[in-house]
Amino acid sequence: MILRGSLAIWRRDMLVLRRSILSELVAVVAYPLTIYLAFGIGMKGYIGLVDGVPYALFIAPGLITMTAVNAAYNESVWSLWFHRRVQFTIESYRVTPISVSEIVIAKILSGFSHGLIKGLVVGLVIFAITPFRFPSENLVAYLAFLVPGSALFSCAGVICGTVMDKPETIGKVEAVFVMPLIFMSGLFFPLSSYPAAVIPWVRALPTTALFEGARQALVAGDLPYAFLGQVMVTALLVFIAAVWIFRWKLSE
């Protein structure tokens, strides 16, 4: 009963996705697949083993995770901005018995659903063109990272979609902050490549905990609790911030 409003908003977002699912998947697959072809295949003759595995297999889990969390972020930020600034759907929510927390939870659910679907499609494409495989039981450990990781990026998207009024500003934030944080987190290279003095700072990033933990979970079936705890705590803090900022913005 408490989350009825969240489920209603989530179902609405899923209906919107269903209408444009083909174009959405084509667009979302093109970017990570281009990166994989350029680096995983194009550079494999120049890069040997990385952490004991071929380079093409080293970057595969990161590309799947990147697709999922990017989809979660983009769904939340653009959906919320569009509903607030163009369709004014948020205004209609305010006259219904739907709380601020339920709206934010709905956007988290929508973001995770988008991320799961699009990450799965990218994963299937990578499986089709590479020998990358993993035991099916590793998916449980991987989802333990992907769920809070997608929630973290969804909440970040809610914050950006709430406080930013211009679409070009949203694009700049993604280019200047979101993507650099992802690339710095060991997506294309091991953390040992950093200078020793920089590694502790990089490990402190929640994106590093997400990508490193998800890679270990998917490839080796490990569940590094330190990384998992870091991702979950950060997701909780960003959720609290998203609810507070969204409530504050609606009260203006």
Q: What pLDDT does residue 46 have?
A: 66
- Give the DSSP letter string of the chain: -TTHHHHHHHHHHHHHHHHTHHHHHHHHHHHHHHHIIIIIITTTTT--EETTEEHHHHHHHHHHHHHHHHHHHHHHHHHHHHHHHTS-HHHHHHTTT--HHHHHHHHHHHHHHHHHHHHHHHHHHHHHHS-----TTHHHHHHHHHHHHHHHHHHHHHHHHHH---HHHHHHHIIIIIHHHHHTTTSSS-GGGS-TTTHHHHHTSHHHHHHHHHHHHHHH----HHHHHHHHHHHHHHHHHHHHHHHHHHT-
Q: How many domains does the chain have?
A: 1
Query: Which pLDDT band, with edges at 50, 70 and 90, does 235 fall under?
Result: very high
**Average pLDDT, stretch 18-24?**
77
Q: What pLDDT does residue 228 have?
A: 93
Q: What pLDDT does residue 81 have?
A: 77
pLDDT reading at 52 higher than 70: yes
pLDDT reading at 91 higher than 70: no
pLDDT (tens digit per residue) in 177-196:
888 888 888 888 888 888 88
Lowest pLDDT segment from 43-47, 112-116, 232-236: 43-47
Q: What pLDDT does residue 6 have?
A: 78
> What's the whole-number average pLDDT of the chain?
81
Query: Which pLDDT band, with edges at 50, 70 and 90, does 8 fall under?
Result: confident
pLDDT (tens digit per residue) in 162-178:
888 787 888 888 888 88
pLDDT reading at 250 higher than 60: yes
The domain of 158 spans 4-250
Query: Which pLDDT band, with edges at 50, 70 and 90, does 90 fall under?
Result: low
